Chains A and B, each alone.
Chain A
């Protein structure tokens, strides 16, 4: 890897220069960042080694709270992964040209998130060596099997979505990047699959891209709806709801938009791409986030109003615990700080500037993570059967350091996959854009160059 002090290769094209720079030169900050992520992952591995050695007893999960932060984290990652379909399908099919430069980032985040979601499920298993028994002795009637099927399908589709969009850029890397290690050169050569901008190749690629843009949408909706059914088909207060599917999907889109804004902020700043990810991108993403948050707010009202009005039995106890009990501070912080305040603040143009909107998005993401905690854990602590003669530890759930470290390590994995991918491929589309939208000027350079 070259450092910035040893610049060798130069590019005449401004766009290539800006976007390839990151692929050739490695800054100290980048190395430090990767080292930090690897350190967190190493600690997470140590915690997981302890979990494998001693079993799930090292976690705080017991008979009642049998799904802890691993499962809330899994739901969070599945939610984040939906962002790929938001950009590659919904915004693309609706011809939102402004969103095209952001498609690559969204697809990278989607791949990274779904990989982490699949991994965290294995982590939640007490005997991961028996994973294949899930397939071997599968019951097609079980929602868990539906989830396993849909997650593996969405994982393949997310990888395909990303891959289809990067083929022309991989060919460009193969042809233009001379000053990269041999393995990287070989990687570009293999993955570029003889791409040569031939009209036939462009025609075929455009065709399959369009097919996949349409196909990804029902799969994306299905993945999070099926995840919600894992809860909705289990008879517990708070989950016994027909609203759960759209409630999960709308929350996922909101979290996905927020994480894109945060990614945009850091990629723009550290890869020096201000000319490409401009302030009006943040402005539009802010408006989109408000819209998605309003939809989520609507489903939130639907989710809580009915049970809170009736306050029947254990369902009422569950609502009381959320609204005024043990989980009330977290609940109101999440609902106000992670949902209502962001909607109000983002209505002001000044708040849709890069830094303020990124901070607001970070609040939305934190809120989204803890919201999944609130969906999973309090419900499990209120079974319909009375809790009698059980050890005190069964009544509460306070995650152990092993659970926190494994969760932190999953975030580090998520960020590491993104970090590595934007080091291998241009963070924004270079080539494909020219072919797909000929009527649009190459990226957003025109304004900036003036």
Chain B
């Protein structure tokens, strides 16, 4: 009798736990539904020193978003360089400003790519906005890097090296293909003894 009672109790507890989990998952689903897109408007002020980038975040209804963390970067060759403070949080007007460093190298015209990112927000979807500005220090192309040399990119390899290696590869692989061709000829020869 006792064992029946315990079995009944366990099954009821199981049902209650199942119900609790289903409630949790419903709440979770509601959370996901509330995530929406934020709108970021950027303005660039080069009248000040240092120059300023201002971002205004608004929601779908055009209301400013307060307390949203935005991340500012400048695109570099291998990764993105963070600029501004560690946390750049929007104020009650949805506004946040960061200083742009005056000594960042750009391309030969001084162009740099500025990235503003929303990431890991509980309320808004991740997004990245890219803007190209001529706020960098123009860098002159080093003509040495454009010349054919041992240390340049693959496309600028010394002609002599390309010729030597190519001719070695071609000659040895020509022999290999010739041998394979002869093997085909051997396989086609019919037994004259037979």
Contacts and interface: CB of A to CB of B under 8 A. Distances in A.
A215 B186 CA distance: 20
Contact of A211 (B175, B183, B185): B175
B173 interface: yes
Given A200-B192, A204-B182, A212 B175 contact: yes
Contacts of A138: 154
A160 interface: yes
Interface in B161-194: 161-162, 165, 169, 172-173, 175-176, 178-180, 182-183, 185-194
Nearest to A199: B192
A374 interface: no
Contacts of A156: 176
B153 A139 contact: yes
Question: Contact size class for B?
Answer: 20 to 34
A164 B179 contact: yes
B182 A207 contact: yes
B157 interface: yes
Contacts of B186: 167, 193-195, 201, 204-205
A389 B193 CA distance: 79
Contacts of A140: 154, 157, 161-162, 165
A448 interface: no
A139 B176 contact: no
Contact of B151 (A141, A146, A197, A199): A141
B168 to A, nearest CB: 8
B159 to A, nearest CB: 11
A204 B193 contact: no
B150 interface: yes
B176 A157 contact: yes
Contacts of A215: 172, 175
Contacts of A197: 193
B189 A141 contact: no
- Counting chain A CB atoms within 10 Å of each CB, the highest count among B154, B186, B187, B188 belongs to B186
Given A195-B186, A211-B179, A149 B161 contact: no
A212 B161 CA distance: 26
B154 A141 contact: yes
Nearest to A164: B179
A324 interface: no
Contacts of B158: 141
- Counting chain A CB atoms within 10 Å of each CB, the highest count among B173, B175, B180, B193 belongs to B175
A15 to B, nearest CB: 21
A153 B157 contact: no
A149 B179 CA distance: 19
A12 B30 CA distance: 86
A208 interface: yes
A449 interface: no
A424 interface: no
Contacts of A164: 179
Given A157-B176, A211-B175, A198 B192 contact: yes
A141 B187 contact: no
A149 B176 CA distance: 14
A245 B84 CA distance: 54
Contact of A153 (B173, B183, B193): B173
A414 B116 CA distance: 55
Contacts of A309: none
Contact of B193 (A194, A195, A198, A219): A198
A208 B182 CA distance: 8
A167 B187 CA distance: 11
A311 to B, nearest CB: 31
B89 to A, nearest CB: 35
A198 B188 CA distance: 11
A319 B191 CA distance: 65
A205 B179 CA distance: 9
B182 A141 contact: no
A127 to B, nearest CB: 16
Contacts of A200: 189, 192
Contacts of B150: 141
- Counting chain B CB atoms within 10 Å of each CB, the highest count among A140, A149, A157 belongs to A140
A205 B187 CA distance: 11
Contacts of B151: 141
Nearest to B164: A140
Contacts of B191: 194, 196, 198
Contacts of B154: 137-141
Contact of B157 (A139, A149, A194): A139
Nearest to A207: B182
A65 to B, nearest CB: 25
Contacts of A205: 186
Sorted from nearest, which 3 A-B pairs have the closest CB atoms? A196-B191, A193-B187, A139-B154
26 contacts: A138-B154, A139-B153, A140-B157, A140-B162, A141-B150, A141-B152, A141-B154, A141-B158, A153-B169, A153-B176, A157-B172, A160-B176, A164-B179, A194-B188, A194-B190, A196-B193, A196-B194, A197-B193, A199-B192, A200-B192, A201-B186, A201-B189, A205-B186, A208-B179, A212-B175, A215-B172
Given A194-B187, A211-B175, 18 more contacts: A137-B154, A139-B157, A141-B151, A141-B158, A153-B169, A153-B173, A157-B172, A193-B186, A194-B186, A194-B189, A194-B190, A196-B194, A198-B189, A200-B192, A208-B179, A208-B183, A212-B179, A215-B175
Interface of B: 150-154, 157-158, 161-162, 165, 169, 172-173, 175-176, 178-180, 182-183, 185-194
Interface of A: 137-141, 146, 149, 153, 156-157, 160, 164, 167, 193-201, 204-205, 207-208, 211-212, 215, 219
